[in-house]
DNA sequence: TTGTTAACGCGACAATATTGCAATAATATT
DNA sequence: AATATTATTGCAATATTGTCGCGTTAACAA
């Protein structure tokens, strides 16, 4: 199933690239110049996520956030999700933290993916 | 507003205590001997969470999970959410990890709460 | 035993996300 | 350039998760 290039897709990807914070469906729809159907937006985003182009993160509000992650761009092939995400409690922006972490798990445990969400205040809001 | 002791409440708390993994609404309802309304279950769980008796965690499936956390029991007053949670990709159980972590944030950033979710395989499933 | 009101059950509702299907349009083929 | 193929879209319907209002029930106190 080959991918086709469409305008909606490209604009969404551009928005995600330009935005340093992770976006959910609402935020994306607000930024789009043309009206794109909700289902389409979700399909595009999930396609990106499946292709490893963007991260899908579940916020502490339970919503899906999508972020084009610079880290992952550098090491395209090795698309790992093992990093932190930060969400500002005041301005609400959510971003990837480059900091790599290692966690000591109990004996016999192995980790596949890691998803850390820190809430706090960013430099603009603290 | 004083709390009253009800059977549903006690059974739910017992289930959470006995279960070492975090449970969502579905899993809880399945374990309950008596039929308890969905809204009631959520109200009980959120009450527990407000009172600091259980943790509320958002899973990577976007659902709310609740866990009676041993760590927090020991240091009742200082009910922090700053610890990891682990979810097994095979058996699906979700549990609190005692390991405390410190993360180095970018300059000017301050953290309030921390929510780390690691997916992998537990000792029984690896 | 009686009164107060926290907790409950039921139904309705809100919000998020997915799916089926016909129509559209991007790409390949002739 | 015209046509065929099928990925993608829009729309509507649906699923899922969680909350809220309200009348009723029952836990606890007086």
Give the pLDDT confidence of B17-70 residue by residue, as tens digits.
888 778 999 999 999 999 999 999 999 999 999 998 888 888 888 999 998 865
In Å, what is the separation between the CA of B7 and the C1' of C2? 24
Tokens describing residue B54? 């259980």
Contact A104 B99 (CB under 8 A): yes
CATH number belonging to the domain at B7-120, selected among 1.10.238.10, 1.10.10.10, 3.30.70.990, 2.60.40.3500: 1.10.10.10
B88 or B116: which leads in pLDDT: B88
Asked if strand D contacts B47 at the CB level, meaning under 7 A, the answer is no
In Å, what is the separation between the CA of B34 and the C1' of D27? 19
Which B residues between 87 and 106 have a beta carbon under 7 A from any strand D atom?
A: none
Smallest CA-to-CA distance from A9 within A56, A50, A42, A55 is with: A42
The minimum CA-CA distance between B99 and chain A, rounded to whole Å, is 7
CA atoms within 13 A on the CB side of B86: 22
CA distance A45 to B81: 30
Q: What's the pTM? A: 0.78
Asked if strand D contacts B34 at the CB level, meaning under 7 A, the answer is no
Rg for chain A, CA atoms, rounded: 16
In Å, what is the separation between the CA of B47 and the C1' of D24? 21
Q: Where is B71: in which H helix or E strand?
A: helix B70-74
Contact A119 B116 (CB under 8 A): no
Give chain A's contact residues with B (Cβ, < 8 Å). Answer: 58-64, 84, 86, 89, 97, 99, 101, 103-123, 126
Tokens describing residue B69? 């956390």
User: How many helices and strands, by DSSP H and E, does chain B display?
Assistant: 4, 5
Strand-pair category, B55-58 with B64-67: antiparallel
pLDDT at B71 over 80: no
CA distance B118 to A115: 6
In Å, what is the separation between the CA of A23 and the C1' of C5? 44
Whether B48 contacts B13, CB under 8 Å? yes
| Residue from B118, B120, B123, B126 to probe the interface with A (highest A Cβ count within 10 Å) | B118
Residue B70 Cα distances to A1, A100, A113, B23, B120, angstroms:
49, 28, 25, 15, 22
In this prediction, residues A16-31 reach a mean pLDDT of: 89
Asked if strand C contacts B19 at the CB level, meaning under 7 A, the answer is no
The ipTM of this complex is: 0.77
B3 or A74: which leads in pLDDT: B3
In this prediction, residues A57-64 reach a mean pLDDT of: 87
Whether B102 contacts A83, CB under 8 Å? no
CA distance B57 to A109: 20
């Amino acid at each position: 199933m080959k991918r086709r290039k469409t305008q909606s897709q490209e604009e969404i990807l551009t928005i995600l690239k330009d935005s340093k914070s992770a976006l959910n469906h609402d935020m994306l729809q607000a930024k789009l110049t043309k009206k794109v159907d909700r289902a389409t937006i979700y399909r595009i985003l999930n396609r990106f996520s499946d292709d490893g182009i963007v991260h899908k993160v579940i916020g502490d509000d339970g919503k899906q956030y999508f972020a084009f992650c610079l880290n992952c761009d550098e090491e395209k092939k090795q698309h790992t999700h093992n990093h932190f995400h930060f969400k500002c409690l005041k301005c609400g922006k959510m971003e990837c933290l480059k900091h790599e972490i290692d966690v000591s798990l109990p004996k016999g445990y192995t980790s596949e993916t890691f998803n850390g969400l820190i809430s706090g205040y960013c430099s603009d809001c603290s």
